């Protein structure tokens, strides 16, 4: 039986930090088992890394992605272990889409951990360090951002485009460093309240990631993908898919396509969802979702007490 009117969402890069799961989470057998499986798949002690490692190590894209996936899947399994029921729909932001697909039964966890480590490596090496940049633009209409990026890019020779439609009035742009800088200047002139360069080393979700997409397609060629037991809304087109081959195609396209998070959450709300559970470190998505649709109630499993509070809050909605 599914929890009526409830969605689970899974965060992407940016939510990582040392201590991202409280030590008390290790009291859940499901959490211990999940981290043990990830450590075995990757050859290092992942629990020790997130509890006692260095932030710089966690910020390496090829490490960040499997760590975040493992944290999210561990919390999902702890939710299940405590008697939590399945939601009616799921979605994940960028890397979080892989977490959602694991939790929905479409991807094997160990396969996914190894795959997203490769995905991180492919993304990191697609563009030389220093040649790409990303920036968050706040306080100007999405259409203005789209138009100005197109205008700046049209002046050549570099690339700049909106890549994360996170919420109305909050969009991330990315591309070649100099071209992103030019777009920032133009957007400030157009009235953007804030334009903040992000501390990343590659222009994710732009056409510059197509080489990474080609390598990801090769890595996924023999990967088993199943039809999800729970619908997952995809970043590329804001729809759910049941066909495994279609899912494989969308995961490749996602790496060089904009993350349509606003559209994903609107699609979730259109399914009659009233409660959204953020299943992973941090509360970034909860903040975005409030700006997308104020009628959505947000819950977080980040802390053990949050997991218990969410179980209590939603137990009457099944």
In angstroms, the CA 312 to CA 212 distance is 43
In angstroms, the CA 49 to CA 163 distance is 30
Q: Is 176 helix (H, G, I), strand (E, B) or coil?
A: strand
Say whether 205 is catalytic.
Answer: yes
What six digits make up the tokens of 154?
Answer: 């049209």
Catalytic residue among 5, 72, 93, 94: 94
Say whether 176 is catalytic.
Answer: no
In angstroms, the CA 38 to CA 271 distance is 33
What six digits make up the tokens of 190?
Answer: 């157009």
Residue 163 is given by DSSP the state E
Strands 160-167 and 170-176: antiparallel
Question: 85, 109, 89: which is closest to 99 by C-alpha?
Answer: 109
Catalytic residue among 5, 25, 93, 205: 205
Give the residue numbers annotated as catalytic, written as ranges: 94, 205
């Amino acid at each position: 039986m599914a929890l009526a009117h409830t969605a689970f969402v899974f965060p992407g890069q940016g939510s990582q930090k040392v201590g991202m799961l409280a030590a008390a989470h290790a009291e859940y057998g499901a959490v211990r088992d999940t981290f043990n499986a990830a450590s075995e798949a990757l050859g290092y002690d992942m629990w020790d890394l997130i509890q006692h490692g260095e932030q710089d190590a966690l910020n390496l894209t090829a490490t960040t992605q499997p760590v975040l996936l493992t944290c999210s899947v561990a919390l999902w399994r702890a939710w299940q272990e405590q008697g939590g029921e399945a939601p009616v729909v799921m979605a994940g932001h960028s890397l979080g889409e892989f977490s959602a697909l694991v939790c929905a039964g479409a991807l094997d966890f160990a396969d996914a951990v190894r795959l997203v480590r490769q995905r991180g490596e492919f993304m990191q090496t697609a563009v030389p360090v220093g040649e790409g940049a990303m920036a968050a633009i706040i306080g100007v209409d999405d259409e203005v951002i789209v138009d100005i990026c197109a205008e700046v890019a049209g002046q050549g020779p570099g690339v700049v485009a909106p890549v994360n439609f996170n919420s109305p009035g909050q969009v991330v742009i990315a591309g070649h460093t100099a071209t992103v800088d030019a777009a920032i200047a133009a957007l400030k002139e157009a009235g953007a309240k804030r334009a903040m360069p992000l501390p990343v080393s590659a222009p994710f979700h732009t056409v510059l990631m197509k080489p990474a997409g080609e390598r990801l397609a090769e890595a996924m060629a023999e990967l088993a993908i199943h039809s999800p037991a729970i619908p997952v809304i995809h970043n590329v087109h804001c729809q759910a898919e049941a066909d495994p081959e279609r899912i494989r195609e969308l995961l490749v396209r996602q790496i060089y396509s904009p993350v349509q998070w606003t559209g994903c959450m609107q699609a979730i709300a259109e399914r009659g969802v009233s409660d959204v559970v953020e299943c992973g470190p941090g509360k970034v998505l909860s903040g975005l979702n409030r700006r997308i649709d104020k009628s959505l109630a947000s819950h977080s499993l980040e802390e053990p007490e949050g997991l218990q509070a969410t179980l209590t809050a939603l137990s009457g909605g099944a």
